[in-house]
């Protein structure tokens, strides 16, 4: 099986290289068959890498420890779903997974767009395959997952042998969220390669209208959605697996996923200005280039051990290659951009600071600033070492001080931006759109203040959230009321139809609402408290309106781990609401036993009670228990779900657009575009 | 430049300057010098006044719990002299040490060096890089 995998990788390398050459040569020679052959080769590359993935999955499933990667990341007693998810449990496998997704995306793009955009597609294929070539080369020569186990020769075992058992999957990764978090994140990272490839193709072919943007709009949204899910799942995993009571710590590895997300978000918004007004063309190119580069950079950060992180990643050789690839990709993209600047002239100018365009521009500016701040903070140890000779780390206060105000300002724009008119908003329309939401938000603000929300940013965040919610409800209400009086539909029907007729706009509002909820959850974290105690049987520990009582201390043994387990009763205002079972586990695989903390969480809309079993006291009779009171955490996850739903709605085609055929519209517009260019 | 455009420029500059100020004050609040044990000894004079992050391997058997306080020793080989240098650490942080904090783990402690030579830390990170990655790079240890 390993040989088949090796062979598939080698074949993929050849086929990928051929695909690039055939596509480019085909265009040069105007040879249609050659271009088609390049396309087929790209599809073939997908088949090869898929085969390699299949082989690796099979080797994990049968626990073939003669393969180094498998011996290092799996063991016999590991449950099957963790065995399979171990594929992305380490360096070699995650990169193979990245490369695999890239070829899958490439194949889908080809199938979807080959006929519609025949001029651009060979270049799109070439750009995607160039990226793929880099990854395939890495799989084959630098971090090959199919390498045989290297046995250290010793007197005791002069003959080569296969280890009887593997080293095991890191217990911290033995978690349902860790099964799906990396695929989601990678689906996001890799997804941005598609709009990037189209942007490059648009520049090469000089078809610089909004065709490339409209073609890749859904791809960008899908990538963005997966990246959002990936980030949130990572937070969720950290929250219930790491046992320190929070879900975000500005660790480099978290920042690595946030940076492309921030720029990707700016890009998603900014393209609307180009579609509607023909402005910000250069800017959009810069944004998509940066998004893709940041996705690569994110992969580099997490995969190279370049920056100190709590996450255990190897000091590995991939860093240098990744840096080289990023430099090549960035220089090529920027060179192309400079060369095509004359074709990217803006068709309009900003007219008023109170307008949709301007709100988009400020949204772009601060998202970029946020990304820059995160980048700066993450890289500061490296930058300061290069400049002053000493490594200086910046710490969470730096990130919070910059990003919290940015987030609040973004929230403000979220409420205001979508309702401002293009060009210039009149005072009348401002009053009509914002008076009531603002009044309600301020009134709630007063109430919140006297109910004890006196942390400045948390208060501001909550007031903004209410304001934005008000504007969103107002929009739905106004649209639906107008529709139901016109068509005689009931109000609910009107809301549904309204949304389905303009999925992009109303789906967008739902995404914004998801953000509001997420934001409320984040604001709640300003009020986290905790308590700690040594609890014997019957002992109690109080926190705010809750009391914990220790009922039982026991030991549990499974083939995979042994655990100390506490059973606690949770009382709210003296009434029992739940049993909680925090554990301290010792995983058995790999000789050295590693302890892990399994927290137990009682979650309500109002707050989480998060209980950690820290270990036994020295006499072994009591358990050290720490409890966190985390307000509103649930809203972070609910907000995430709403955000995904909103994105899915925005991905639906508009109801009326189904009647008119899309390709016609596009080709007509494309023709117009070409005509204007000629004239 | 037209008046309208001036507004945008002024708006953007105000935003960027505000953020720059916030970044600077946040940096002042949380910055720490990241050093290895040997670098710490090399810059001893400045070490007492700075907030430091020091990385090293936890010496096996050195972890001693004293209520909430944890005393342990981290060590690191000096690249130049090849001597193993050690640092006595007293962890007084409010958070429990991470699960990965065990003998031989790679620990990063954050705090200040006292004049008695004991490093008082209130934050700690740890990872067992050795188990999951270093070994697989060197080949699998024989399992017995």
Question: In this predicted structure, which of A42-51, A184-193, A518-527, B95-104 has the lowest mean pLDDT?
Answer: B95-104
Looking at the structure, tell me whether residues B98 and B132 fall in a common domain.
yes
pLDDT of residue B135: 35
Structure tokens at A361: 């521009």
Looking at the structure, tell me whether residues B43 and B27 fall in a common domain.
no
Q: What's A140's DSSP letter?
A: I
Pairwise CA distance, residues A606 & A141, whole Å: 53
**Nearest CA among A557, A561, A564, A562 for reference residue A75:** A561
Looking at the structure, tell me whether residues B37 and B69 fall in a common domain.
yes
Looking at the structure, tell me whether residues B7 and B36 fall in a common domain.
no
DSSP 3-state assignment of A586?
A: strand
- In DSSP notation, A220-287 reads HHHHHHHHHHHHHHHHHHHHHHT-SS-S----HHHHHHHHHHHHHHHHHHHHHHHHHHS--HHHHHHH
pLDDT of residue A318: 83
pLDDT of residue B126: 81
Partner residue facing B53 (CB), from A73, A393, A398: A393
Q: In this complex, do B30 and A396 lie within 8 Å of one another by their Cβ atoms?
A: yes
What confidence tier does A611 reach under pLDDT thresholds 50, 70, 90?
very high
In a domain, B94, yes or no: yes
What confidence tier does A163 reach under pLDDT thresholds 50, 70, 90?
confident
Domain ranges of chain A: 422-524+647-678, 527-634
Asked whether the beta carbons of B81 and B95 are under 8 A apart, the reply is: no
- In DSSP notation, A598-646 reads E-EEEE-SSEEEEEEEEEE-TTSSSEEEEEEEEETTHHHHHHHHHHHHH
Digit-coded pLDDT (tens) for B49-94: 888 888 888 888 888 887 778 999 998 877 777 788 889 999 998 7
Residue A663 has pLDDT above 90, yes or no: no
Q: Which residues contact A207 (CB under 8 A, 6 or more apart)?
A: A119, A120, A670, A673, A674
DSSP 3-state assignment of A597?
A: strand
Pairwise CA distance, residues A463 & A444, whole Å: 7
Q: Residue B127 maps to which CATH number?
A: 2.40.50.140
Per the listing, tokens 């937070």 go with A235
Q: Which bin fits A149, alpha (ψ -120 to 50), beta or left (φ > 0)?
A: beta
pLDDT of residue B137: 33
Partner residue facing B143 (CB), from A362, A393, A591: A591
Q: Does the beta carbon of A383 lie under 8 angstroms from any beta carbon of chain B?
A: no
Looking at the structure, tell me whether residues B2 and B57 fall in a common domain.
no
Residue A283 has pLDDT above 80, yes or no: yes
In a domain, B143, yes or no: no
Looking at the structure, tell me whether residues B72 and B22 fall in a common domain.
no
Looking at the structure, tell me whether residues B20 and B63 fall in a common domain.
no
What confidence tier does A673 reach under pLDDT thresholds 50, 70, 90?
low
Mean pLDDT of chain A: 88
Q: Which contiguous run of DSSP H or E holds residue B69? A: strand B69-77
In a domain, B113, yes or no: yes
Q: Does the beta carbon of A592 lie under 8 angstroms from any beta carbon of chain B?
A: yes
Looking at the structure, tell me whether residues B48 and B19 fall in a common domain.
no
Q: Does the beta carbon of A386 lie under 8 angstroms from any beta carbon of chain B?
A: no
pLDDT of residue B95: 78
pTM for this entry = 0.89
pLDDT of residue A586: 82
pLDDT of residue B131: 39
**Percent of chain A at pLDDT exceeding 90:** 58
pLDDT of residue A621: 81
In a domain, B144, yes or no: no
* ipTM higher than threshold 0.85: no
Nearest CA in chain B to A595: B99
B 26-85 residues inside an 8 A Cβ radius of A: 26-27, 29-35, 43, 53, 55, 65
**Percent of chain A at pLDDT exceeding 70:** 92
Q: Does the beta carbon of A382 lie under 8 angstroms from any beta carbon of chain B?
A: no
In a domain, B110, yes or no: yes
Looking at per-residue confidence, does B37 or A640 come out higher? A640
Question: In this predicted structure, which of A170-174, A504-508, A610-614 has the lowest mean pLDDT?
Answer: A170-174
Asked whether the beta carbons of A411 and A366 are under 8 A apart, the reply is: no
Residue A172 has pLDDT above 80, yes or no: no
Nearest CA in chain B to A148: B139
Number of structural domains found in chain B: 2
Q: In this complex, do A152 and B15 lie within 8 Å of one another by their Cβ atoms?
A: no
Q: In this complex, do B142 and A395 lie within 8 Å of one another by their Cβ atoms?
A: no
Q: What's A534's DSSP letter?
A: E
Q: In this complex, do A390 and B53 lie within 8 Å of one another by their Cβ atoms?
A: no
Partner residue facing B26 (CB), from A69, A353, A401: A401
Looking at the structure, tell me whether residues B21 and B51 fall in a common domain.
no
Mutate to test the interface with B, among A67, A174, A243, A312 (most CBs of B within 10 A): A312
Residue A678 has pLDDT above 50, yes or no: no
Pairwise CA distance, residues A635 & A519, whole Å: 8
Q: Does the beta carbon of A317 lie under 8 angstroms from any beta carbon of chain B?
A: no
Q: Does the beta carbon of A77 lie under 8 angstroms from any beta carbon of chain B?
A: no
Q: For chain B, what is the radius of gyration of the CA atoms?
A: 22
| Mean pLDDT computed over A341-363 | 86
Looking at the structure, tell me whether residues B73 and B130 fall in a common domain.
yes
Looking at the structure, tell me whether residues B9 and B53 fall in a common domain.
no
pLDDT of residue A438: 92
User: Which residues of A are less than 8 Å from B31 in CB distance?
Assistant: 392-395, 398
Looking at the structure, tell me whether residues B68 and B15 fall in a common domain.
no
**Nearest CA among A309, A269, A313, A312 for reference residue A287:** A269
pLDDT of residue A668: 52
Give the domain range for residue B19.
1-31
Q: In this complex, do B127 and A311 lie within 8 Å of one another by their Cβ atoms?
A: yes
pLDDT of residue A377: 92
């Amino acid at each position: 099986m390993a040989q088949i995998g090796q062979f598939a990788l080698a074949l993929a390398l050849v086929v990928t290289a051929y695909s690039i050459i055939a596509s480019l040569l085909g265009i040069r020679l105007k040879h249609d068959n050659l271009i088609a052959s390049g396309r087929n080769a790209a599809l073939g590359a997908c088949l090869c890498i898929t085969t390699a993935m299949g082989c690796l999955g099979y080797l994990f499933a049968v626990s073939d420890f003669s393969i180094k990667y498998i011996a290092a990341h799996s063991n016999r007693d590991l449950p099957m779903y963790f065995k399979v998810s171990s594929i992305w449990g380490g360096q070699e496998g995650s990169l193979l997974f990245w490369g695999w997704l890239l070829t899958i995306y490439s194949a889908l793009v080809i199938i979807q767009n080959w006929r519609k955009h025949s001029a651009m597609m060979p270049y799109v294929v070439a750009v995607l395959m160039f990226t793929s070539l880099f990854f395939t080369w890495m799989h084959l020569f630098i971090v090959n997952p199919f390498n045989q186990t290297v046995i250290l020769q010793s007197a005791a075992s002069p003959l080569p042998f296969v280890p009887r058992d593997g080293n095991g999957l890191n217990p911290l990764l033995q978690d349902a969220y860790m099964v799906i978090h990396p695929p989601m994140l990678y689906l996001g990272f890799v997804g941005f390669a598609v709009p990037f490839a189209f942007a490059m193709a648009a520049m090469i072919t000089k078809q610089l209208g909004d065709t490339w943007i409209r073609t890749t709009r859904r791809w960008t949204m899908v990538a963005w959605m997966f990246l959002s899910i990936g980030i949130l799942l990572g937070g969720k995993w950290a929250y219930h697996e790491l046992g320190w009571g929070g879900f975000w710590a500005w660790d480099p590895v978290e920042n690595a996923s946030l940076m492309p997300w921030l720029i990707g978000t700016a890009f998603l918004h900014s393209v609307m200005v180009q579609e509607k007004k023909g402005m910000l063309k250069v800017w959009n190119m810069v944004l998509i280039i940066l998004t893709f580069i940041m996705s690569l950079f994110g992969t580099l950060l997490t995969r190279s051990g370049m920056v100190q992180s709590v996450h255990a990643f190897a000091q590995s050789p991939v860093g240098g290659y990744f840096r080289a690839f990023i430099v090549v990709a960035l220089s090529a993209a920027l060179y192309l951009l400079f060369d095509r600047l004359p074709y990217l002239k803006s068709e309009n100018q900003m007219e008023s600071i109170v307008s949709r365009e301007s709100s988009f521009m400020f949204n772009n500016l601060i998202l970029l600033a946020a990304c820059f701040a995160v980048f700066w903070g993450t890289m500061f140890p490296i930058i300061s070492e290069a400049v002053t000779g000493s490594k200086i780390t910046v710490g969470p206060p730096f990130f919070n001080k910059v990003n919290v105000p940015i987030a609040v300002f973004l929230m403000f724009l979220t409420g205001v931006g979508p309702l401002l008119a293009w060009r210039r908003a009149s005072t009348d329309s401002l009053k009509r759109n914002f008076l009531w939401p603002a009044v309600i938000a301020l009134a709630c603000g007063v109430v919140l203040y006297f109910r004890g929300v006196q942390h400045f940013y948390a208060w501001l965040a909550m007031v903004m959230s209410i304001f934005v919610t008000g504007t969103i409800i107002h929009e739905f209400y106004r649209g639906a009321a107008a529709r139901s009086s016109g068509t005689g539909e009931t109000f609910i029907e009107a809301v549904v139809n309204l949304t389905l007729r303009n999925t992009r706009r109303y789906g967008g509002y739902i995404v914004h609402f998801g953000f509001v909820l997420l934001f409320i959850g984040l604001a709640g974290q300003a009020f986290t408290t905790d308590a700690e105690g040594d609890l014997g049987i019957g002992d109690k520990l109080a926190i705010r309106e809750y009391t914990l009582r220790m009922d039982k201390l026991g030991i549990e043994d499974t083939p995979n781990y042994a655990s100390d387990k506490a059973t606690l009763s949770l009382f709210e205002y003296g009434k029992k609401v739940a049993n909680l079972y925090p554990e301290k586990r010792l995983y058995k695989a790999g000789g050295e036993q590693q302890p892990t903390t399994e927290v137990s969480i009682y979650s309500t809309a109002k707050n989480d009670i998060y209980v950690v079993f820290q270990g036994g006291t020295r006499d072994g009779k009591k358990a050290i228990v720490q409890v966190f009171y985390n307000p509103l955490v649930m809203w972070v996850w609910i907000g995430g779900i709403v955000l995904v739903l909103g994105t899915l709605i925005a991905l639906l085609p508009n109801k009326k657009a189904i009647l008119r055929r899309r390709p016609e519209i596009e080709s007509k517009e494309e023709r117009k575009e070409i005509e204007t260019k000629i004239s | 430049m037209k008046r309208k455009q001036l507004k945008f420029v002024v708006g953007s500059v105000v935003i960027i300057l505000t953020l720059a100020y916030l970044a600077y004050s946040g940096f002042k609040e949380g910055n720490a010098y990241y050093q290895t044990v040997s670098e710490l000894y090399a810059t001893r004079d400045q070490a007492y006044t700075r907030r430091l992050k020091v990385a090293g391997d936890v010496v096996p058997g050195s972890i001693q719990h004293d209520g909430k306080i944890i005393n342990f020793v981290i060590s690191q080989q000096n690249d130049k002299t090849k001597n193993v240098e050690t640092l006595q650490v007293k962890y007084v942080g409010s958070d429990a040490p991470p699960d990965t904090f065990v003998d031989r783990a790679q620990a990063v402690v954050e705090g200040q060096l006292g004049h008695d030579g004991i490093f008082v830390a209130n934050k700690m990170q740890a990872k067992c890089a050795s188990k999951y990655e270093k070994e697989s790079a060197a080949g699998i240890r024989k399992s017995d």
